[in-house]
Amino acid sequence: MPAQNVRHLFDPDPEVVYLDAGTYGLPPRPAISALMEALHRWQTGVADYARDWETAGERSRELFAQLIGAAVETIALTPTASAGVGMVAASLPAGAEILVPQEEFTSVVVPFYAAVEGRGITLREVPYRELAAEIRPRTALVAFSLTRAQSGETADLGQIIAAARRHGTRVLVDGTQAIPFVPVKEHLDGIDYLVCHGYKHLLLPRGAARALGGEPALPGQLALRQPNVWRSVDAGSQGVAFRHLAGLALLGRRRSSA
Ligand SMILES: Cc1ncc(COP(=O)(O)O)c(C=O)c1O
């Protein structure tokens, strides 16, 4: 869509030329209106939890599914990308090797530190561009930012997925800096988990504010509440993978249903 068609939806300070959506995206006016309305309804106690908030969450799952070309049932909602990674980390079998890039974003690696402790799990760090070449038969999971926060560099997803397939390795992609600019649809079959926080290029609010609804016309949002996500996590420890998890988390099963 041409920029002039959406410019009126934004309200940056006239003194500001805002180019920093990689830190946080500016919300469009409809998102702010919906958020203020939700806050007001919360403040005054007239919000109907199920009707107002749950439906907005469900709608956001649908929209995020559409945006990336996935099935809505595979989408779960999490408060942060790291919460999604944490669920994956908790499901890893003892003794697994996890492959991550050097200088990977903290939300992708820190959840694995806890998994490593006392469970014989190894975290191996290699240069970003060598991820595909470094996947080995004993690599249970490769986890990385599809686009890097520090440089904007984007990984060769197809190459990493192909290497992962050869070795039976699961793939966790953090799409926070990539979506919606880097298409993932053609690779979804090869992605076991995908996390994506919405407060950057998806122009969503961050943290608890997301749980208030936001603009239903925007993909994304909030709060983990799909019970099947937790079931999937349990199943994961028995060797069943989620398919995607976006954090908006996208999750589903792959090898169980394949
Ligand atoms: C690559 C990447 N992943 C994730 C996040 C956000 O992580 P979380 O949702 O855990 O706060 C950021 C924020 O800067 C990021 O750049």
Give the domain CATH number at 101: 3.40.640.10
Separation of CA 152 and ligand 1 centre (Å): 13
Domain span at 134 = 54-250
User: In the sheet that 170-174 helps form, which strands lie side by side, from edge to edge?
Assistant: 75-76, 249-250, 193-195, 170-174, 139-145, 97-101, 122-126
Q: Would you state the pLDDT for residue 234? A: 31
Contact 198, 27 (CB under 8 A): no
| Ligand 1 pocket mutation pick from 177, 193, 204 by most atoms within 8 angstroms of CB | 177
Q: Structure pTM? A: 0.83
Evaluate whether residue 105 is within a structural domain: yes
Q: What is the number of the ligand 1 atom nearest to the C-alpha of 83?
A: 10
The response to whether residue 107 sits with its C-beta less than 6 Å from ligand 1 reads: yes
Evaluate whether residue 245 is within a structural domain: yes
Q: Would you state the pLDDT for residue 246? A: 43
Q: Would you state the pLDDT for residue 58? A: 85
The tokens for 210 are 């997301």
Positions of the chain with pLDDT lower than 70, given as ranges: 1, 207-258
Separation of CA 48 and ligand 1 centre (Å): 31
Evaluate whether residue 153 is within a structural domain: yes
How many domains does the structure of the chain reveal? 1
Q: What is the number of the ligand 1 atom nearest to the C-alpha of 82?
A: 10
Q: Would you state the pLDDT for residue 93? A: 84
Evaluate whether residue 229 is within a structural domain: yes
Q: Which residues pair with 125 in a beta bridge?
A: 100
Separation of CA 213 and ligand 1 centre (Å): 20
Nearest to 136 by CA among 147, 122, 148: 122
Contact 70, 63 (CB under 8 A): no
| Ligand 1 pocket mutation pick from 24, 109, 151, 174 by most atoms within 8 angstroms of CB | 174
The tokens for 135 are 């996947």
Evaluate whether residue 25 is within a structural domain: no
Q: Would you state the pLDDT for residue 1? A: 66
Q: Which residues pair with 75 in a beta bridge?
A: 250
Evaluate whether residue 147 is within a structural domain: yes
Cα–Cα–Cα angle for 52, 204, 57, rounded to 5 degrees: 30
The response to whether residue 104 sits with its C-beta less than 6 Å from ligand 1 reads: no
Evaluate whether residue 31 is within a structural domain: no
Question: What is d(CA 54, CA 88) in angstroms, rounded to the nearest whole number?
Answer: 25
Evaluate whether residue 47 is within a structural domain: no
Residues 6+ apart with CB under 8 A from 41: 47, 52
Nearest CA to ligand 1 atom 12: 176
